[in-house]
Amino acid sequence: MQQLENRDAKKATITIEGKPLAIRPSYAQQEEIDTFDEFVQRFWQKQISEVEFQRFRLQHGVYGQRQEGVQMVRIKIPWGGLSAEQLEALADLAQRTPRRIGHVTTRQNVQFHFVKLAEATEFLGALEKVGLTTREACGNTVRNVTAGACSGVCPREVFDVTPYAEAVARFLLRNPMNQNLPRKFKIAFSGCPDDEGITAIHDIGGRAVLHQENGVSHRGFRLIVAGGLGPVPHHAQVLEEFTPADELLATVGAIVRVFDRFGNRENRSRARMKFVLQEFGLEKFRNLVFKERTGLKSTMGGKFPPIVIREEGPPAPRSTPVSISGLEDPAYELWRRSNVRPQKQPGYVMVTVRLELGDFTPLQLRLLAFCAREFGDSTVRTTNQQNFLLRWIPEEALVPMYRVLRRADLARSGADRLMDVTACPGADTCQLGITSSRGLALAIGRMVEEKHPDLAEEVGGRIKISGCPNSCGQHHIATIGFYGGSKKFGGRQAPTYQMLLGGVWGDSTARFSQPALRLPAKNIPNAIDRLLEIYKANRTNGESLFPFLERFGPKQVVQNLAEFTAIPSYEEAPDGFQDWGEEKAFELKTGVGECAV
C-alpha cells in the first residue's frame, strides 16, 4: 500500500491500493437486521407506539406507501456502484414483489414497492449477504451519497471522485451526528465539467479541482452548499473554492453538525439547510462551518477514516473471444449514436441502458449482470437519470452485447434524451402524490418515440415530471418540466400539471425552469407534440431545444399552447377528468408523507 498524502495527523489519510471498488467492505450489519426484526415484533405486540416504530422503520429505509399494509424498501447504492452479484440479488428480490419490478431513483437508489412488513426483515437479510444496506436511506439523515455515473472513465474529468464519495458515505453511515437531523440531507460529487452529479441542487456538492503549489498538483474540491429543489428551489452557494482532499471529511462533518444545530425543527417546510443559509447569510454560515471544522480536527485527531484511492483499470481478459462482425441495422446504429460514449481509456466505451420510468424486471437485471461480467468489468452504475451505465466495454463487443440487451428490451435508444422522461412515483404509491406522474411520463415518452423519433439522438432537451410540487422528479431543472395539481372544470376536479420551461444544469450551476401555463393531464402529450412541431419548424441549423426555447420565448409558447388549457365538460368527454392509467373519475387524495418524520 502506497501512501499518497499524510500532511497532518489530524486530517484524513489518503492511501492508494490496487483492489477494484467492486470488491469493497460491506455496508450492512447482521446485528442491525436482528434489531429491526425485534422492533417489528415489539410493534406487533404493541410494546412500542406507531410513532416510535415509524421513526425506527424510516431510519432503516422502510417507507410507508399510499396503500395500507405495504411498504417501499429503499436500498442505498453509494455513488451508484453495483456488482454483478448484487444485481442478481436485487433480481431475486424483484421477483418476490407483487408487481415483479424494481425501480432506480433520481438519487441512484433502488426501490421495491408493495413489500409487506412481515417480509421486510428477509429483504434486509438478502441485501446483507451481498453487502448492501437500507440504513439511513429514508428519514432525517444524510441520504445516499451520489456521484456522476461516468466517474473514473470520463474523458473530461479532473480526477475520479468515486473514492471520495465512498469515503464520505462510510464516514457518515451510522455516525451519531447523522441520526436525528432537522430534515433529510443530500450530498453529491462530480469530476467532470458537465456536472453529471448535479451538485448544484444538493446540500453539499463537491466538484473536483486541482490546486498547484510549488509545482505540485494537489487534489481537492470546490464545495458548494445549501442547494435544493422542492416547492422553493435554491441554488447552492460556494462555501470554499478549494477544500483539500484530506480535509474533505472534516469539512463535510462540520457542515452536517452546523445544520444539526441550527436547522428548523419546528417547521418542516423550512427545515432544509437552504433555509439556514438564507437566514444566516453566506459569511456567517461559512464562519460557523470553519469554526466547527477546526474543532472537529482537534477533537478527532487522526480518527477520520482513510480515503482509499483505487484507480480504474481494464478488466481481466475474457475467457471467450468476442465477435467483431458488424451489424447492418438502423436500430443498432441509432442506439450506438445515442447510448454509447467513449471512455478516457482508449478502446473502451460506456453504454447507457435506458429504463422506461426507471423500472426493471428480474430478467433484465440478470441479463445486465451477464453483460457486466461477459463484456465489462463485472459492475454497473445507477444514474441520477434513472438508468444503468455499463462501463469498460471494448468497442468490438458492442454488437454482441447489443444483441443480448435487445432480448430483454434493454437496448432502447434515446438515453438521456427528450424521449427518456424522468418521473417520480407520484400518486401511484406516494402519499404526497396528487397525480400519476408515471402515467403521464409513459404517455409522453411513447408519443415522442412514435411521432418524433428524429429527436432520439439530440442532446439539450429533457422532460421531467413530479406528481406534486416537491420536485422528486427534478422538474425545476428540466427543459420542459411538470408538477401535478388539480383544478375544477365545470364544478368537477380534473388532474392538471403546471408546465415549466427553461431548466438546465451543468458547470456546478443550475438554472431553474419558469412557470408557463397549467394544462389538464390528458392534454399534455398533444401539447408537447405541438411544441416539438414548432421547434422543428422554426429552429436554426443545429439548434437544440433549450436555446430554441430561450430564443422563441415563453410568451410565444403560451400563445401556441393556449388551446390545450381547457377540456370539454364531463358529459361530453369524461376521459379528461381521469388521470393517466385510471378508469374512474379523478379525486384529490393526499396523505401525510413520511419524508420529514
Instruction: Supply the pLDDT for residue 3.
Output: 36
Whether the Cβ atoms of residue 199 and residue 224 lie closer than 8 Å to each other: yes
Identify the three-state secondary structure at position 331.
helix
Spatial separation of the C-alpha atoms in residues 388 and 149, rounded to whole Å: 9
- What are the start-end ranges of the H helices in 263-397? 273-280, 282-300, 330-339, 362-375
566 shares a domain with 494: yes
**Contacts of range 543-548, beta carbons closer than 8 Å, 24 or more positions apart:** 544/458, 544/459, 544/460, 544/461, 545/418, 545/458, 545/460, 545/461, 545/479, 545/480, 546/460, 546/461, 546/479, 546/502, 546/504, 547/460
Tens digits of residue pLDDT in 573-589 = 999 999 999 989 999 88
CA torsion angle for 498, 499, 500, 501 (degrees, to 10)? -170
Residue 444: the pLDDT is 96
CA distance 579 to 545: 28
Whether residue 595 is predicted with pLDDT greater than 90 in this model: the reply is no
Structure confidence by residue, pLDDT tens digits, 228-267: 999 999 999 999 999 999 999 999 999 999 999 999 999 9
Q: How many helices (H) and strands (E) does the chain have?
A: 15, 25
Whether the per-residue pLDDT at 397 is higher than 70: the answer is yes
- Same structural domain, 259 and 403: no
Would you mind telling me the total number of residues written for the chain in this entry?
Answer: 597
Alpha-carbon distance of 539 to 519, in angstroms, equals: 24
Confidence (pLDDT) at 575: 95
Residue 265 lies in a domain: yes
Residues whose CB falls within 8 Å of the CB of residue 242, separated by 6 or more in sequence, listed in order: 209, 211, 220, 221, 222
SS3 content of the chain, % helix, strand, coil (to 5): 40, 25, 40
As given in the structure block, the three cell numbers for residue 290 are: 470553519
Cβ(390)–Cβ(82) under 8 Å?
Answer: no
Count of beta carbons in the 10 Å neighbourhood of residue 284: 12
pLDDT at 454 over 80: yes
Indicate whether 271 belongs to any domain.
yes
Q: Examine the domain organization and report whether 452 and 361 are in the same domain.
A: no
Domain that holds residue 466: 422-577
Q: Tell me if 62 is assigned to some domain.
A: no
* Rounded Cα gap, residues 233 and 155, in angstroms: 31
pLDDT, one tens digit per residue, over 458-471 is: 888 999 999 999 99
Return the residue matching grid coordinates 409558447.
Answer: 557
**What are all long-range contacts of 115-119, with beta carbons under 8 Å and residues at least 24 apart?**
115/62, 115/70, 115/71, 115/72, 115/73, 116/69, 116/70, 116/71, 117/40, 117/62, 117/69, 117/71, 118/40
Do 219 and 357 lie in one domain? The reply is no
Q: What average pLDDT does this structure show over 142-150? A: 98
Secondary structure of 538-580 as H, E, C letters: HCCCCCCHHHHHHHHCHHHHHHHHHHHHCCCCCCCCHHHHCCC
- Are 37 and 119 spatial neighbours (Cβ–Cβ below 8 Å)? no
pLDDT band of 597, cuts 50, 70, 90:
low
Instruction: Judge whether 512 and 477 are in contact, CB under 8 Å.
Output: yes
Q: What pLDDT score does 222 carry?
A: 97
Q: What is the pLDDT of residue 578?
A: 96
Domain stop point among 262, 293, 309: 309
What is the pLDDT confidence band of residue 590, given thresholds at 50, 70 and 90? confident
C-alpha cell recorded at residue 377: 468489468
Percent of the chain with pLDDT over 90: 86
How far is residue 596 from each of residues 52, 213, 265, 270, 416, measured CA to CA in Å? Answer: 14, 44, 10, 11, 30
Q: Could you tell me which of 245, 261, 401, 251 has the C-alpha nearest to residue 322?
A: 401
Q: Is residue 110 part of a domain?
A: no
Inter-residue contact 459 to 417 (CB < 8 Å): yes
Q: Is 450 exposed, middle or buried (0-12, 13-18, 19+ CB in 10 A)?
A: exposed
283 inside domain: yes
Residues 165 and 254 in one domain: yes
Residues 225, 261, single domain; the answer is yes
What is the distance between the alpha carbons of residues 409 and 571, in angstroms, rounded to a whole number? 40
Instruction: Kindly tell me if the per-residue pLDDT of 2 is higher than 80.
Output: no
Of 273, 257, 81, nearest to 175 by C-alpha is: 257
d(CA 471, CA 56): 26
Number of domains in the chain: 3
For the residues 507-532, what does the mean pLDDT come to? 93
From 294, 309, 324, the end of a domain falls on 309
- For 88-133, strand residue ranges (E) read 102-104, 110-115
Any idea what DSSP says for residue 394?
A: E
- 322 confidence band (pLDDT: 50, 70, 90): low
pLDDT at 522 over 80: yes
pLDDT higher than threshold 70 for residue 360: yes
Q: How far is CA 490 from CA 493, 585, 588, in A?
A: 8, 14, 16
Question: pLDDT by residue (tens digit) across 205-231?
Answer: 999 999 999 989 999 999 999 999 999
Of all residues in the chain, the percent with pLDDT exceeding 70 is 94
pLDDT exceeds 50 at position 5: no
Do 282 and 145 share a domain, yes or no? yes
389 and 474 together in one domain: no
User: Do 298 and 368 reside in the same domain of the chain?
Assistant: no
Strand-pairing partners, residue 352, are 389
449 pLDDT more than 80? yes
Q: Identify the pLDDT of residue 321.
A: 57
Closest of 178, 159, 181 to residue 170, by C-alpha: 178
What order of strands is seen across the sheet that includes strand 14-16? 2-5, 14-16, 307-309
CA distance 225 to 205: 6
Computed over every residue of the chain, the mean pLDDT equals 93
Burial letters 268-282, b for 16+ CB under 10 A, else e:
eebbbbbbbbbebee
| Alpha carbons 459 and 475: distance in angstroms, whole number | 17
Do both 287 and 234 map to the same domain?
yes
Residue 391, C-alpha cell as written in the block:
462501463
DSSP string, 5-46: E-S-TTS--EEE----TTS---S--HHHHHHHHHHHHHHHTT
Q: Is the pLDDT of residue 508 over 70?
A: no
Residue 224 lies in a domain: yes
**Domain-embedded: residue 35:** no
The average pLDDT across 125-130 equals: 97
pLDDT, average across residues 465-494: 96
Tracing cell 495527523 back to the chain, one arrives at 9
Distance, CA of 391 to CA of 368 (rounded, Å): 12
Same domain, 284 and 164: yes
What is the CATH number for 541?
Answer: 3.30.413.10
User: 252 and 175: one domain?
Assistant: yes
- Helix crossing, 554-561 with 524-538: angle to 10°? 130
Last residue of a domain, one of 274, 309, 344: 309
pLDDT of residue 326: 67
Instruction: Note whether residue 272 is domain-resident.
Output: yes
